[in-house]
């Protein structure tokens, strides 16, 4: 019996799937690139998992997907916060577009077994704007949403009244005034019933401090306490965010060692070709088993651009 138990203990790690953080680029035509976190017990053939859409702020905009890991839900997972859900984290080049975000949601829904009754959106700063714009545009898709130090840009915000929504903003925010969130609340009040809204004005809290919200277990407990299956979609108002919680948010975090990061676009996997006399994009594409269109995209160039001898062209 002891030998059998020993064998099971040895084999047990082989049965558990590893946590994965996967970079997805070019999956959606003219859409966002994104990271997708897959928890270790995810099994597409068994039960579905909740999905969280994380929207970053302006400082993480650009075309380097790795910087999306600097803070937020993905960074929280890497630092040891246990989140029992798939997490999708797209990267924007400018303000978030609700329709393009919905394309990301649809892609994940098509390729992974997610619980569409438990889809959540959370973001900060520009991501707070994106969260409110998305939830207002697709209120029947979002089980709950949380927006920190943001605002909104869509024409009507009445859809927000249908969503369990937690808005958090610091009164000492010099980057995005608390008045931006207040205007959202005022417009929701003009739309009617705001019983699903929680508005937390945090006295003396500045802009960057609210990033700590992503590292609190209660943030995800609050989100997961809601579902589209709830008959009245009542907001859970038993949670609070305090200065004490924010102060201790980074305590006891321990970086995960069993998180497998899959990114086929890292510098180490890139391949370059040195241009020789007589080379053309078509010739380089054929020699490297690729296409002119891909070469142009990788090198941010046009098909009509001239090549210089000695120039390095990325081919992978």
Dump pLDDT digits (tens) for 161-180. 999 999 999 999 999 999 99
Dump pLDDT digits (tens) for 276-289. 888 998 888 888 87
**Pairwise CA distance, residues 114 & 248, whole Å:** 32
**Pairwise CA distance, residues 312 & 270, whole Å:** 12
Strand locations in the chain (E): 19-24, 33-38, 49-55, 86-91, 114-124, 144-148, 165-170, 197-202, 259-262, 272-274, 312-314
Read off the pTM. 0.80
Q: What is the pLDDT of residue 270?
A: 63
Q: What is the pLDDT of residue 268?
A: 46
Looking from the CA of 311 toward its CB, the CA atoms found within 13 Å total: 15
**Pairwise CA distance, residues 287 & 33, whole Å:** 28
Dump pLDDT digits (tens) for 195-246. 999 999 999 999 999 999 999 999 999 999 999 999 899 999 999 999 999 9
């Amino acid at each position: 019996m002891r030998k059998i138990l020993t064998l099971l203990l040895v084999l047990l790690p082989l049965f558990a799937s590893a946590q994965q953080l996967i970079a997805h680029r070019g999956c959606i035509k003219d859409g966002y690139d994104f990271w997708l976190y897959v928890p270790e017990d995810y099994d597409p053939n068994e039960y579905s998992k909740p999905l969280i859409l994380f929207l970053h702020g302006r400082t993480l905009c650009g075309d380097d997907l790795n910087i999306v890991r600097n803070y937020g839900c993905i960074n929280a997972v890497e630092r040891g916060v246990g989140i029992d859900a798939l997490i999708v984290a797209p990267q924007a080049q400018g303000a978030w577009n609700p329709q393009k975000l919905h394309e990301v949601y649809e892609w994940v829904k098509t390729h992974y077994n997610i619980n569409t009754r438990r889809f959540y959106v959370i973001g900060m700063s520009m991501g707070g704007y994106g969260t409110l714009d998305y939830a207002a545009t697709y209120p029947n898709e979002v089980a709950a949403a949380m927006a920190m130090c943001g605002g909104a840009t869509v024409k009507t915000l009445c859809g927000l009244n249908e969503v369990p929504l937690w808005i958090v903003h610091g009164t000492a925010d010099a980057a995005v005034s608390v008045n931006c969130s207040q205007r959202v609340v005022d417009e929701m009040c003009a739309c009617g019933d705001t019983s699903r809204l929680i508005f937390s004005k945090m006295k003396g809290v500045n802009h960057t401090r609210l990033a700590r919200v992503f590292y609190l277990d209660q943030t995800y407990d609050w989100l997961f306490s809601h579902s589209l299956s709830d008959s009245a979609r009542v907001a859970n108002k038993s949670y609070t965010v305090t200065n004490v919680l924010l102060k201790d948010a980074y305590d006891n975090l321990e970086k995960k060692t069993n998180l497998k990061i899959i990114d086929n676009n890292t510098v180490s996997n890139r391949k370059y070709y040195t241009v020789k006399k007589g080379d053309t994009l078509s010739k380089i594409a054929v020699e490297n088993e690729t296409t002119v269109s891909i070469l142009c995209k990788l090198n941010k160039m046009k098909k009509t651009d001239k090549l210089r001898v000695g120039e390095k062209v990325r081919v992978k």
